[in-house]
Every structure is written in C-alpha cells, then in structure tokens.
Amino acid sequence: MPRDFARRQTSNGRKSRSKPKRKSAVSPKNRVLFHGPSFSFGAIVGAALIIVAAYAPEWLQVPQTDITNQQVPAATTPTVEFEFPRILKESEVKADPSAYPVPEQSPDEPPRAFNIQAASFQAADDAHSLRAQLLLRNLPAAVDSRLVDGQLWFRVKVGPFDNKTLADRAMTQMREMYLTPIWMN
C-alpha cells in the first residue's frame, strides 16, 4: 500500500508541521553582477602596486658621490695587456707530417667506387617505381636482376660514387625516404 509522506504523522499521533522554505537572501533576479566600490578599490590597489614596482628601485638606490672631478693616481689605473698576439708571434709550432700518412694509390689500381643497394623487390614494377623516385631526387639509380635460391629478385642500386662523402649524403637521402640502404662491394 502506498504511503503519503507529505502528510505523515509524528509518533505521538499529531501531524507534523513542515517548516516553510526560506527564500535566499539574493534571488537570481536580484543578483549584482558588477559592484562598483569593489572594482574601484581593486583598480586603485593594482595601480599602487604597479607604481611601487616601477619606482621602488629608484627610491631605494643609495646616492653615489660624484667622482668625475676627483683625480685618480696613475699608479692605480689598471692596464689591460693582451698576451696572445705576442706569444703567437714569438712561438713556433712544430708538426710531424709523418704521423698522418696519406695512402698512395697505385696508377694501375682503378679508383674505388662506392655503390649502395637501396632495396630489393620480387616485382619489377616496384623496383622501377623506386628507381624513378630516386632519379627525381638526383640520385643515380639502376635496377639489377639476380636469381637467388631459384627466385628472381630485382635490386635497386644507387651509385657509383667517386668519394665516400657523396655516398654518405645519398645514404642520408634514402634514409629520409624511410629506406634501409646497405653498402655493396
């Protein structure tokens, strides 16, 4: 059976009186969004803080005596002398050129060429597509086919380069293309 809690009775048999709800002191209609005295006080205090922060170093500064008219004895005047140019002129650097020998290349030996394998594919179209991308980046590329364990593989070679610096730059460009290049003999 449903109970009516709004009209419940107390334990002694009388009806309880519900207290009337109190209205809040400030209703949403009467709420003040801007309070002029508070704003004015905040603006004055903020301006005072800015002025104090700006001028406090000047107010706290100790007055200095004027020393422009006073004569300083010549003996106490510091002199600056740079010793490095004198030391450089008077010293001699001796180097031993034999410590760093340059390997001589024999005239009958061909110059060494640096070759790089950019990638290898089982599909010729993939190899030729990568070759085209490398050529667009000004890298000398070629496709070579090899038979490995009875399967035909197409490898994309970059090079030959005359010196290692150019080959290293090409390796860097290929790594920027998210390739894993390897050196070839």
Question: DSSP for 68-136?
Answer: SSSPPPGGGS------HHHHHHH------GGGSPPPPPPTTSPPP-EEEEEEEESSHHHHHHHHHHHHH
Band (26; pLDDT cuts 50, 70, 90): low
Rounded CA separation 164/119 (Å): 20
73-99 pLDDT, tens per residue? 556 677 888 888 888 888 887 777 777
Average pLDDT over residues 53-74: 68
pLDDT of 1 > 60? The answer is no
Q: From CA 132, how far away is CA 126, in angstroms rounded?
A: 10
pLDDT at 171: 93
Contact 142, 131 (CB under 8 A): yes
List, in order, residues 6 or more apart from 165 with CB less than 8 Å away.
none
pLDDT score of 104: 74
Task: Give the global pTM.
Answer: 0.42
Residue 9 has pLDDT above 90, yes or no: no
- List pLDDT tens digits, range 102-145: 777 677 767 678 999 999 999 999 999 999 999 999 999 999 99
